[in-house]
Structure 1
Amino acid sequence: MSMLKIGVLGAGHLGKIHIKCILMASETYELVGFYDADPANAQKVAAAYGIRSFPDMDSLMEAVEVVDIVTPTTTHFELARKAMEKGKHIFIEKPLTHTIQEAEALVKLSEETGVKVQVGHVERFNPALLALENMPLNPMFIEAHRLAIFNPRGTDVSVVLDLMIHDLDILLSMVPSEVSHISASGVAVVSDTPDIANARIEFANGCVANLTASRISIKQMRKVRLFQQDAYISLDFLDKQAQIIRLFDQSATDLPDTDLMELDTPRGKKLLHMQAPDIEPVNSIKMELESLATSIVQDSRPPVSIQDGYHALKLAYEIIGEIERRSVLI
């Protein structure tokens, strides 16, 4: 695969991590440089990583094929629009944009320009989730808890956009059905927007999801549990572990070789199999950036497409709207 020229917009906390990961992906990308609006920070980053700091974003965009946008969400739309109009492929951090209208405009523009766009929903590349790649999924109930210790850095947006959006993206990638009903509630405890939120999402195929997100927890947790007709799956995104418990008929042809336990059920004898799949450690940010390069070279759909980013954002805003509607009634 020939190397793609890439430039990074934004060299804050996450931007620096992206720079490190791109430098590690040296067989895929040639890091041409970066642009940061703070000249003092730009100077420090250029010296620390031995890379070029561009004086403005236009000159950076002109010099690359791929633009990596790691700036505050409010700036995403303008930067992505500019890059697309120049025919540049884009990696853009989540959430896709600040508003739904902006997201809709970018989706339309991506279709018109034909550029590849990947949204940084990094949990899709979490080893715990990757361990399910060959597992037939048909969840009918999903439960997710995403709890974080209080950090003032992220409180300018609702916890739904800050944390829950990760699980909304995962949920939409797992359930091949339209959302039919949403009920949600949330409370602003220490900031102006909800710090803790719960949403119940019902799908047309009968699947129900119950999601909780909090940024005022005393301990961290990032867990998703899936229940389907023949299996219970538990994923721990924080400890990067997965556990799969499956039920088989005795006559099943795809029985595992070991660790089978007989179980009497109202529908006769079944075989229970518990498995903790081997988890391959990966650098998730490096992996998501590399997967964009693959989709550019192969002209295929990026694993987390701009449409995926839009659908997660739209669902997040529907939940926020439901929380606001409920708080007006109280």
Structure 2
Amino acid sequence: MKNIRTGVIGTGSMGQNHARVYSEISNLVGVADLNEGQGKKVANRFGVKWHKNFEDLLLDVDAVSIAVPTSLHLQIAKKVLLSGVHVLVEKPLSNSIEEASEIVKLAAKTDLTLAVGHVERHNPVVNYAKKAIDGGKWGEIITLTSKRVSNFPERITDVGVLFDLCIHDIDISNYLSNSKVNSVYALGGKKRAPHEDHINLCLSYDSGLISICETNWLTPNKVRKLEITTSTHYIELDYQSQSIELFKSKYINVNKSNLYSSNLQLETIKVPINQEEPLKLELADFLQSTVSNKTPLVTGEEALEVVRISAHALESLMNKKVIKT
């Protein structure tokens, strides 16, 4: 992959991290940003060229990441794809179903790789959970309960917490459930931000699985966790520490006439996880897809489905009702 010429459009919080990883795993040749100070700072850090106009960057690259405000994704992705360049679009793919669909259709028409930056999909704990669930090791999945909370990010201005944070957990729910969402119900509101900054989302799947997502920008501490209830286990995943704990239990010495004295034997298993940076795995997967013609882990179609569910969640939030999908 060292021979693949890469670039980054947008050098803000996420974009500069894309540049860092590309500089390690590929031939990073340039970055583009309208903000000359920020763009040059990132370019100088990695010894590459800064472009004010991203279209100039497209002349020198095989693949790029788009890490600009969500409202600009369609405008820039169209020009990238029509220039014959493979693209990874940071999540969300768009903030509207129509625009996300247009990006997906254009990628198919141009026969170029479109990957989407749902980075938690590349977290090693998710990879382990997916294999355990699909292999039947954890029994039947009954509920997924996600908590993704932190304080307000000044960098986000064009979308609320649903499209910025909760969208991660919607994607993971879809990925682990192997099923389709049939109804969406959301409650929440805004306390500090121009858009919603706290939301509780309930997703119902055709399989019977229920996924609950609690997300906000109101807490002083950062939490990124998933709890899974199954027919045989209770599982806790921590995205930040990349750790998994499994819990099983059984009653011993049960006396039906004195349940108070019955003993519950709890077994806790800590799963060994090989910790790796999810963003590095994501970008390596994207670049490998461009040269091997394989499907990236997060496809445009999957990202479009997440946008569709998120749009229904916003509709539910505004109208205070369940939305059938």
| TM-score, normalised by the number of residues in structure 2 | 0.88
Structure 1 match to 2:118: 121
Structure 2 match to 1:200: 202
Structure 2 match to 1:291: 285
Structure 2 match to 1:322: 316
Instruction: Give how far 1:153 is off.
Output: 3.0
| Correspondence 1:1-330 to 2 at 5 A | 3-25=3-25, 29-137=26-134, 138-245=140-247, 274-326=268-320
Distance, in Å, in 2 between the alignment partners of 1:220 and 1:67 is: 30
Instruction: Give how far 1:2 is off.
Output: 6.5
Q: Any idea what SS the aligned residue of 1:62 has? A: coil
Structure 2 match to 1:268: none
Distance, in Å, in 1 between the alignment partners of 2:271 and 2:78 is: 42
Matched residue type, 1:162 = D
| Structure 2: runs of 5+ lacking an equivalent | 135-139, 255-264
| Contact 2:35–2:52 (Cα < 8 Å) also in 1 | no
Q: Any idea what SS the aligned residue of 2:131 has? A: coil
Change (3 A) 1:263 1:174: farther
Matched residue type, 2:28 = L
Distance, in Å, in 1 between the alignment partners of 2:18 and 2:92 is: 16
| Structure 1: runs of 5+ lacking an equivalent | 248-260, 266-270
Q: Deviations over 1:167-197 (max 9, x none)?
A: 0010011112221111111111112322111
Change (3 A) 1:19 1:128: same
Q: Any idea what SS the aligned residue of 2:245 has? A: strand
Q: Any idea what SS the aligned residue of 1:63 has? A: coil
Change (3 A) 1:273 1:135: farther
Matched residue type, 1:195 = D
Instruction: Give how far 1:30 is off.
Output: 1.0
Distance, in Å, in 1 between the alignment partners of 2:42 and 2:157 is: 26
Distance, in Å, in 2 between the alignment partners of 1:191 and 1:14 is: 21
Distance, in Å, in 2 between the alignment partners of 1:114 and 1:154 is: 32
Distance, in Å, in 2 between the alignment partners of 1:286 and 1:132 is: 19
* Equivalent residue pairs, number: 306
Distance, in Å, in 1 between the alignment partners of 2:175 and 2:253 is: 34
| Contact 1:235–1:241 (Cα < 8 Å) also in 2 | yes
Q: Deviations over 1:187-218 (max 9, x none)?
A: 11112322111111111111111111111013
Instruction: Give how far 1:129 is off.
Output: 1.9
| Contact 2:184–2:309 (Cα < 8 Å) also in 1 | no
Distance, in Å, in 2 between the alignment partners of 1:151 and 1:44 is: 21
Change (3 A) 1:152 1:296: closer
Matched residue type, 2:90 = E
Instruction: Give how far 1:10 is off.
Output: 1.0
Change (3 A) 1:272 1:298: farther
Please say which of residues 272-281 and 92-101 is displaced more in the overlay: 272-281
Change (3 A) 1:55 1:152: closer
Root mean square deviation of aligned Cα: 2.2
Instruction: Give how far 1:246 is off.
Output: 5.3
Change (3 A) 1:69 1:264: farther
Sequence identity percentage:
26
Q: Any idea what SS the aligned residue of 1:140 has? A: strand
Distance, in Å, in 1 between the alignment partners of 2:155 and 2:55 is: 29
| TM-score, normalised by the number of residues in structure 1 | 0.86
Q: Deviations over 1:227-285 (max 9, x none)?
A: 122222211112221112358xxxxxxxxxxxxx88689xxxxx986421112221211
Distance, in Å, in 1 between the alignment partners of 2:126 and 2:113 is: 24
Distance, in Å, in 2 between the alignment partners of 1:17 and 1:273 is: 40
Distance, in Å, in 2 between the alignment partners of 1:203 and 1:130 is: 21
Distance, in Å, in 1 between the alignment partners of 2:117 and 2:34 is: 21
Instruction: Give how far 1:318 is off.
Output: 0.6
Q: Any idea what SS the aligned residue of 1:167 has? A: helix
